[in-house]
Amino acid sequence: MLKIAVCVSGGGTNLGAIFDAIDAGKIKNGEIVSVISNNPGAYALERAKAHGVEAKCISPKDFGNREDFNVALLDGLKETGADLVVLAGFLVNVPAEIIREFKGRIINIHPSLIPSFCGKGYYGLKVHEGVLERGVKVTGATVHFVDEGIDTGKIIAQKAVDVLEGDTPKVLQQRVMEQAEWIILPETIAKICNGEIELG
Ligand code: GAR
């Protein structure tokens, strides 16, 4: 069984999609051992508890400086014993020491077709605002390995989604989640768990 830790900051619909795929037997040989959030109010933590999974909050507000928070996050992740770390709407810049410790074993879901609308400042709803401002007709989502840069790691999976006339950022966000994120993230995890995609 591959041990999976999921890092979250908000609602956790992607986490929900992973739980659904495990419950439906689409992800075999993998289990979520821990869900970690930087945000004590993240609904994702409730989703974890409802599944009987450890839910931890490690908030930067509880530490005097960023370095201490980074150490706590690293320790918290190491304690889970995870083989794979999934960033599912984790809106924290993952510190270099965590990337080094879990080299090639961290994946992220991003709500655009990288290299468009990614990098500094592009997260959550801001991505979809950028897409609508630029007027592109196709967007989507990307699953990629995490390296030291922001959204620069090796791309594993992408899925395109149409932008439609009259879309608002929220409407587009929902379509990208339904038609891309909730599909390619569990699929990628399933492939990692059955050895089709190798971890570093
Ligand atoms: C998702 O759209 C995810 O792709 C995005 O945050 C949202 C979290 O939703 N992540 C990023 O923007 C990372 N750069 P969720 O909490 O409902 O899964």
Which strands, in side-by-side order, build the sheet including 106-110?
Answer: 54-57, 30-37, 2-8, 84-87, 106-110, 138-145, 155-162
Task: Check 51, 110, 128, 144 and give the catalytic one.
Answer: 110
Closest Cα to residue 68, out of 82, 80, 78, 58? 58
pLDDT in tens, 70-123: 999 999 999 999 999 999 999 999 999 999 999 999 999 999 999 999 999 999
By three-state DSSP, how is residue 115 classified? Answer: coil
Residues 152, 110, 179, 174, CA torsion sign: negative
pLDDT in tens, 128-167: 999 999 999 999 999 999 999 999 999 999 999 999 999 9
Mean pLDDT of the chain: 97
Nearest-CA residue for ligand 1 atom 11 is 123
By three-state DSSP, how is residue 46 classified? Answer: helix
Cα of 88 to ligand 1 centre, how many Å?
A: 6
Cα of 196 to ligand 1 centre, how many Å?
A: 25
Interior angle at CA 143, CA 173 and CA 57, nearest 5: 75
Does 200 score more than 90 pLDDT?
no
Which residue stretches of the chain are H helix?
13-23, 43-50, 66-80, 96-101, 125-134, 169-176, 182-193
pLDDT at 71: 97
CA dihedral (85, 88, 93, 97) in degrees, to 10, reads 0
**pLDDT confidence of 183, banded at 50, 70, 90?**
very high
